[in-house]
Amino acid sequence: ESAPIEFYGMCTHMADANSTSTYTHSQMDRFRSLLHRVRAAGVAVPTISTDNSAALLTTSLTHFDPNAILSHDTRGFVRCGGAIYGQRPAFKELRAVSTLTATVKHVAVISEGESVGYDRAYVAPMDVRIATLTVGFADGYPRELGNGVGRVSIRGSTFPVAGNVCMDMLMVELGPAEDEGAGAHVTVGDIAVLWGPEGMDVENCGNGLV
């Protein structure tokens, strides 16, 4: 004999929850229609979930009518995703809470024409100072942020990633070798913030990433 199927509930996901879209309301109309048909068939719906992070934070939305959706035997709940981590740049009231840091393991000056990293993707346009950090794609730093796309904060200044991101390290261009700016003061043991409270959050640490 087949085991009975336990119907836990119904949910939908807001595909376009923003203040200017009319799609959310049409999506909820279809959801309510399906909910009515399920209940009319005698199926109890213990739980209902509709709102994701964007729907919760867009206060002008009026799509959720508890009188039309919930009942005495139905509980409603919401699903906070990226908002928990502050990863919704459209909502300025949020602040990113995650931080990724690494240590400066090595600082060296390389000559014009010399390269660093896999595939020699970075070739020094001049004599430059390069820092090597103890983090790579195996630690969760996206490979797509290599070659100047990603930026790293060290001692309050930001520097571009030089070349491809390696498995357990990456290189950062600190500036021309003869420059006496912020990059000249970076030393072994300094803490580099790849994303975190110094303005380099997950959304803008690769502000050139499309």
Tell me the per-residue pLDDT of 175-203, one tens digit each, with 9 for 90 and over. 999 999 999 999 999 999 998 765 566 66
Could you give the percent of the chain with pLDDT greater than 70?
91
* pLDDT tens-digit map of 38-47: 999 998 999 9
Report d(CA 19, CA 180) in Å as an integer: 48
- Give me the DSSP letters along 166-204: -SS-EEEEEEETT--SGGGG--TT-EEEEESTTS--TTT
Residue 89 has what pLDDT? 65
Helices (H) and strands (E) in the chain, counts: 3, 11
Measured from the Cβ of residue 25, the count of other Cβ atoms closer than 10 Å reads 11
* pLDDT tens-digit map of 102-113: 999 999 999 999
Residue 92 has what pLDDT? 79
Name the residue among 99, 1, 9 with its Cα closest to residue 45: 9
Going by C-beta distance under 8 Å and a sequence separation of 6 or more, which residues neighbour residue 93?
57
Residue 209 has what pLDDT? 47
Question: If residue 77 lies in a helix (H) or strand (E), which one and from where to where?
Answer: strand 75-77
Residue 93's pLDDT band (boundaries 50, 70, 90)?
Answer: confident
Could you give the percent of the chain with pLDDT greater than 90?
56
Report d(CA 69, CA 73) in Å as an integer: 11
In DSSP terms, which residues pair with 161 in a beta bridge? 172
Indicate the range of 5-14, 31-40, 118-127, 193-202 predicted with least confidence.
Answer: 193-202
Residue 201 has what pLDDT? 63
